[in-house]
């Protein structure tokens, strides 16, 4: 399975992607992305293996895509049903290698994964969250049509113990304009 956009190709994560993923996931400046396997290369290997196996599971809840630009992995974008007990909604997340930021790639990829979610997963709502100190991600959410439904949330980072504010945004199938 591949999703093509004007500039990007999105495909399922697979074994062999570890080195390019660790290039951005291992970046210590990405402290807001606490779920990334960013301590060791072995954590990245384990992350890739787990998410690649998920694509072959009958009970798949997480759809982890890599984002390719001219054949190079520049980031990732996922659609996760795992937070919804009845699989009625998904959460959307993305990360772009900092060498490729501020060029619209995150919004282009997130938009494509939203389209995938609404067309293929039988859901009517998609949520995304970001740290209040991450205006770039909040901008992506607004650019793809999401609306902020909570600006009073908090998040605590397990590795640092720091707590920060959190935005939660939502888009529904009815609001989604597509690609």
Query: pLDDT (tens digit, 9 = 90+) per residue, 45-99?
Result: 999 999 999 999 988 999 999 999 999 999 999 999 988 888 889 999 999 999 9
pLDDT of residue 21: 92
Examine residue 102 and state whether it is found in any structural domain, yes or no. yes
**pTM, rounded to two decimals:** 0.91
CATH of the domain at 167: 3.40.630.30
Q: Could you tell me which of 90, 78, 86, 98 has the C-alpha nearest to residue 27? A: 98
Residue 86, classed as helix, strand or coil, is coil
Rounded to the nearest integer, the mean pLDDT of the chain is: 90
Beta bridge partners of 65: 12, 77
Determine the structural domain holding residue 136 and report its residue range: 3-172
Contact status, residue 176 vs residue 150, Cβ threshold 8 Å? no
Element (DSSP H or E) covering residue 53:
helix 41-54
Tell me how far apart the alpha carbons of residues 132 and 93 are, in angstroms, rounded to a whole number.
Answer: 15
CA 102 to the chain's CA centroid? 16
**Token pair recorded at residue 138:** 């909040």
Q: Per the structure, how many domains does the chain have?
A: 1
Predicted confidence (pLDDT) per residue in 135-146, tens digit: 999 999 999 999
Contact status, residue 44 vs residue 83, Cβ threshold 8 Å? no
Predicted confidence (pLDDT) per residue in 85-110, tens digit: 888 899 999 999 999 999 999 999 99
pLDDT of residue 87: 85
Contact status, residue 168 vs residue 126, Cβ threshold 8 Å? no
Examine residue 179 and state whether it is found in any structural domain, yes or no. no
């Amino acid at each position: 399975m591949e999703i093509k956009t004007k500039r990007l190709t999105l495909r399922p994560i697979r074994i062999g992607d570890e080195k390019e993923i660790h290039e951005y996931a291992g970046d210590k400046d990405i402290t807001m992305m606490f779920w990334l396997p960013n301590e060791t290369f072995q954590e990245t290997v384990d992350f890739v293996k787990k998410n690649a196996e998920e694509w072959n599971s009958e009970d798949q809840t997480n759809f982890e895509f890599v984002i390719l630009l001219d054949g190079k992995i520049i980031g990732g974008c996922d659609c996760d049903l795992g937070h919804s007990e009845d699989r009625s909604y998904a959460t959307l997340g993305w990360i772009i290698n900092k060498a490729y930021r501020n060029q619209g790639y995150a919004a282009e990829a997130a938009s494509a994964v939203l389209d995938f979610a609404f067309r293929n997963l039988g859901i009517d709502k998609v949520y995304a969250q970001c740290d209040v100190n991450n205006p770039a991600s909040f901008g992506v959410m607004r650019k793809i049509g999401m609306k902020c439904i909570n600006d009073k949330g908090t998040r605590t980072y397990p590795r640092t113990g720091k707590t920060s504010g959190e935005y939660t945004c939502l888009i529904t199938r009815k609001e989604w304009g597509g690609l």
